[in-house]
Amino acid sequence: MAALKLGVLISGRGTNLQALIEHCGGPEFPASIAVVISNKADAVGLARAAEAGIATAVVPHGDHNGRAAFDAAIGNVLLRYGVGLVCLAGFMRLLGAEFVAGWRDRLINIHPSLLPAFKGLDTHARALEAGVRLTGCTVHFVRAEMDEGPIIVQAAVPVRPDDTEGTLAARVLAAEHRAYPLAVRLIAQGRVRIVGGRVEIDGARVPDAAMLNPRDD
Ligand code: GRF
């Protein structure tokens, strides 16, 4: 089966992009990155893509007259590279409903919380403030509403009493780097279906135990 062609959309440092680059370079990984698109010319992730020999495009949002024109410019790049799955990886612009509908079920995002908790920005600060004992990350299909959509993969990360926003973000980020390539692989293997608004995954095993936090044994 031909590898699924990914278009990765970024705005910044691109560590999730880096994780995808590394997995896509591995033997038998069923996806490859066709193009990386940034709305910011100085995104560090662009250098990561160039270093890996991957095509890049900069589509500055300020250069376009409104969201529809910006979305259309991104769509044109994706079509030019024959992209089959769009991966948002720290892409800090909201895409319009028309774009989202056009890429329905072929557009995924990673978010640094266990959705539907803590949608939006500053997830780690809000998780600490709320006193949750577990947080994590979610890879999901994108719908028009922000941080909504069928959930593909989640990773749970325990919160420590001495965590700061920075230490918690770092541990969740490490989990993101495992969760995103896993979600992409499952989709590229054709094992992911959306049924009644929820994701079903063929042949996926489920871990046995609950993660308890704290432990006192
Ligand atoms: C990640 O925390 C991701 O979950 C969120 O934006 C951040 C991007 O980080 N959507 P990076 O650019 O991949 O390092």
Q: What is the pLDDT of residues 36-90, one digit of tens each?
A: 999 999 999 999 999 999 999 999 988 998 999 999 999 999 999 999 999 999 9
1: pLDDT strictly greater than 80: no
Find the 119 Cα to ligand 1 centroid distance in Å: 14
Determine whether the shortest distance from the Cβ of 112 to ligand 1 is under 6 A: yes
Nearest Cα to Cα of residue 120 among 94, 85, 87, 150: 94
Residue 71 CB–ligand 1 contact under 6 Å: no
What residue's CA is closest to ligand 1, atom 14?
A: 15
Establish whether residue 136 lines the binding site of ligand 1, counting it when its CB lies within 6 angstroms of any ligand atom.
no
Q: Which residue's alpha carbon is at the smallest distance from atom 7 of ligand 1? A: 90
Q: What is the pLDDT of residue 85?
A: 98
Residues linked to residue 140 through DSSP beta bridges, in sequence order: 109, 151
Q: Quick one: average pLDDT of 177-200?
A: 98
Cα(89) to centroid(ligand 1), Å: 6
Written as one letter, the residue type at 81 is Y
Q: Is it the case that residue 2 has pLDDT exceeding 90? A: no
pLDDT tens-digit series, residues 93-137: 999 999 999 999 999 999 999 999 999 999 999 999 999 999 999
> pLDDT (tens digit, 9 = 90+) per residue, 23-33?
999 989 999 99
Domain ranges of the chain: 1-103, 109-204
DSSP states along 104-146: TTSEEEEESSSTTSS-SS-HHHHHHHHT-SEEEEEEEE--SST
Kindly state if the Cβ of 111 falls inside 6 Å of ligand 1: yes
Q: Is the domain covering 109-204 a CATH 3.40.50.170 domain?
A: yes
1-103 and 109-204 in the same fold:
yes
- pTM attached to this predicted model: 0.97
Catalytic residues: 111
Ligand 1 binding pocket includes 9 (Cβ within 6 Å):
no
Cα separation, 19 vs 185, whole angstroms? 12
Nearest CA to ligand 1 atom 9: 90
Sign of the C-alpha dihedral, residues 178, 92, 21, 78?
A: positive
Interaxial angle between packed helices 165-188 and 15-24, expressed in degrees from 0 to 180 and rounded to the nearest 10: 30
CA proximity to 169, closest of 8, 9, 13: 13
Q: Which CATH class is domain 1-103?
A: alpha beta
